[in-house]
């Protein structure tokens, strides 16, 4: 793995309540964001908002205006990361994101919370501080908040970072994205704007149609 260096200190605190409409208003929000046209299903969107609501109501989010969704049920050739500004009802970023090398090839199929598994972990995370990885540069800490599914994320050094294998050119050469040690890796040109947008206490949801997770997640049940 890599050595994590230089934690950036806390600077700001942002957030606001009631950004997400009642269930009957979710279809309007989904349509306003044009998520169907970006391949994110309404079912995944509703699950993300369900967990987000619980974290927000429990006071766990320092910045509740931003929601990030990673849909690992999609092909790695799809732009399956979505950064949503709930306050302004805007899709800020939609780009590629790689999964772990032992999670699958083009498609993600296996997930783990164990160190050394080189697999991605499902569930809800709260974003932390910017860091500088010794080998990957600007990165973002992720705190997994779902026991048994992703609560080893900090110990495993699961971070958002940039990677040359998470690019469209890599897809053209190989037919799929490359894979990480378990981190959600982004195209290098997007790492700074994404990190600066979602850092310091926002909600991130990594989804897959995994029945064990969906049935046992404390935030979804």
Residue 13 to residue 4: CA distance in whole angstroms: 24
Give yes or no for a contact between 61 and 202, defined as CB atoms under 8 angstroms apart.
yes
Residue 72: inside a domain: yes
Q: Residue 128 corresponds to which tokens in the numbers above?
A: 């932390």
Residue 13: inside a domain: no
| Cβ neighbours around 39 below 10 Å, total | 15
Residue 43: inside a domain: yes
The pLDDT value given to residue 20: 72
Give yes or no for a contact between 156 and 182, defined as CB atoms under 8 angstroms apart.
yes
Residue 154 to residue 48: CA distance in whole angstroms: 21
Look up the CATH number of the domain holding residue 194: 2.40.440.10
Give me the domain span that covers residue 34: 21-216
Q: Residue 59 corresponds to which tokens in the numbers above?
A: 């006071």
Q: Which residue has the tokens 């200190």?
A: 9
The pLDDT value given to residue 21: 66
| Averages of pLDDT over each 10 residues, the chain, 221 residues | 37 52 78 96 97 96 98 98 96 98 98 98 98 91 98 97 98 98 98 98 98 97 95
Contacting residues for 54 by C-beta, under 8 A, at least 6 apart: 219
Q: How many residues comprise the chain?
A: 221
| Cβ neighbours around 6 below 10 Å, total | 10
- Which H or E run contains 84? strand 81-85
Give yes or no for a contact between 14 and 63, defined as CB atoms under 8 angstroms apart.
yes
Residue 15 to residue 129: CA distance in whole angstroms: 16
Number of domains in the chain: 1
Residue 41: inside a domain: yes
Contacting residues for 148 by C-beta, under 8 A, at least 6 apart: 113, 216
Residue 2: inside a domain: no
The pLDDT value given to residue 9: 36
The pLDDT value given to residue 183: 98
Residue 1: inside a domain: no
Q: φ and ψ at 203, to 5 degrees? A: -95, 135
What is the value of pTM for the model shown? 0.91
The pLDDT value given to residue 6: 35
Q: How far apart are the first and last CA of the chain?
A: 34
Residue 44: inside a domain: yes
How far is Cα of residue 93 from the mean position of the Cα atoms in its chain? 12
Residue 11: inside a domain: no
The pLDDT value given to residue 22: 63
């Amino acid at each position: 793995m890599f050595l994590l260096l230089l934690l950036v200190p806390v600077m700001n605190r942002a957030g606001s309540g009631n950004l997400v409409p009642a269930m009957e208003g979710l279809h309007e929000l989904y349509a306003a964001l044009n998520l169907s046209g970006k391949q994110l299903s309404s079912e995944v969107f509703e699950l993300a908002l369900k967990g987000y609501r619980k974290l927000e109501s429990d006071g766990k989010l320092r910045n509740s205006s931003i929601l990030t969704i990673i849909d690992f049920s999609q092909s790695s050739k799809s732009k399956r990361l979505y950064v949503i500004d709930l306050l302004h009802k805007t899709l800020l970023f939609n780009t590629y994101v790689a999964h772990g090398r032992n999670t699958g090839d083009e498609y993600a199929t296996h997930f783990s919370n164990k160190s050394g598994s080189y697999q991605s972990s499902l569930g809800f995370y709260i974003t932390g501080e910017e860091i500088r990885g010794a080998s990957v540069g600007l990165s973002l800490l992720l705190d997994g908040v779902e026991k048994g599914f992703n609560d080893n994320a900090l110990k495993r050094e699961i971070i958002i970072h940039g990677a040359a294998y998470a690019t469209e050119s890599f897809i053209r050469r190989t037919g799929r994205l490359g894979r990480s040690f378990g981190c959600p890796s982004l195209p290098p040109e997007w790492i700074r704007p994404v990190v600066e947008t979602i850092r310091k206490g926002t909600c991130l949801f990594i989804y897959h149609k995994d029945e064990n997770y969906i049935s046992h997640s404390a935030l979804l049940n």
